[in-house]
Amino acid sequence: MSDFQDLSADERNLLRAALDAPLVERDPAVLGLCLRLCGRRLLQRAGSAAAANGWSGSPHAFVLTRDGWRQIAAEHARGPLRRVG
């Protein structure tokens, strides 16, 4: 699993956006980032499995994988440290 810190700011923002809804952007630059995240197994195409589970959106949309969820959760858990003083 890749470290969240190894990702670019744009890639991290896409993963966070995928928490809210599947990514269906048609912009070539965003599509390239989505495909790169697919290569790291952090995103995947929604595909026929999503349709079989009742989702009526585009099968070409990108959704988070389990590893993607773990990356987001790990980043959230790290959060900024508070100084007590």
- What's the CA gap between 50 and 77, in Å, rounded? 28
What is the tens place of the pLDDT at every residue in 27-72? 899 999 999 999 999 998 887 766 677 767 777 789 889 999 898 8
pLDDT exceeds 90 at position 84: no
- What's the CA gap between 30 and 64, in Å, rounded? 15
Measured CA to CA in angstroms, residue 14 lies from 29, 48, 59 at distances of 12, 22, 18
State the pLDDT at residue 82. Answer: 61
Tokens standing for residue 11: 């890639």
Q: What are phi and psi of 45, to 5 degrees?
A: -70, 145
The domain locations on the chain are 4-78
